[in-house]
Structure 1
Amino acid sequence: MRWSHAALNCGDLDTTEKFYTTWFGARRANEFDLGDLRIVFLRVGDAYLELFGAASPAAGEPAGGDGHQVTGTVRHIAFQTDDLDAFLRAVEGRADITLGPLDFSAHIHGWRSVWLRDPDGVVVEVSEGYRDRD
């Protein structure tokens, strides 16, 4: 396993991106426009910040799917693996899967992810195949 990213819900995605690029040396590695949602990956060294233009459901709602969607909160943390299927076999019946596995090959060939809840309720993504845009 390798550390991958933390995902942040942003009130203003562009302002948040500028903050991290200006003050922490992050650079844009990728962007996805999903119609009603824009996601930007910023690279910081060997890890990423994944910025979500966020919806804001009621505070205190339990995290589900890929995490909380409340502005100003961490959505999820993430790790990358070379073999998502082996990871899924290892955790089968022993982890609370909240979403997936989902296939994002329409965006990046071979990119797949699954989300699970840790014992304290933090959503953790495990991903295979993500890479930066050339």
Structure 2
Amino acid sequence: MRILSLDHVVLTVKDIDQTVAFYSGVLGMEEVVFAGGRRALRFGGQKINLHKAGAEFLPHAQMPTSGAGDLCFLVESLEAVERRLAEAQVHIEEGPVFRAGAVSPLRSIYIRDPDGNLVELAEPQDVVIAGGS
């Protein structure tokens, strides 16, 4: 068996409208509606399906909880991200800092979404950075 890629993840959220506004308005993802009204956020070739806390679709995680996510999104330009976050008045938790990504070192900024999920916005680096983690 060989896994090819990630298709989607599910976030359990308190308020789907607020989540969609953040991820589409601030981060530029596209809202999609599917399967009779379910809502998701699409970016690149992936999507985030949204479940409302207390009204999750079956099947779902054993203990769905809002605010328990820790997501990392690759971006083209961290400088553009910093400008966009400043325009949207989104607080930067940490960064820019260097981290180790799945296939390359990353230069990252960390923010929180409306549910408190940790969102890492990371620019891949072409060279190995000493001290990255």
State the TM-score bracket (shorter-chain normalisation): 0.3 to 0.5
Q: TM-score, normalised by structure 2?
A: 0.40
* Bigger strand fraction: 1
Q: TM-score, normalised by structure 1?
A: 0.40
Larger Rg: 2
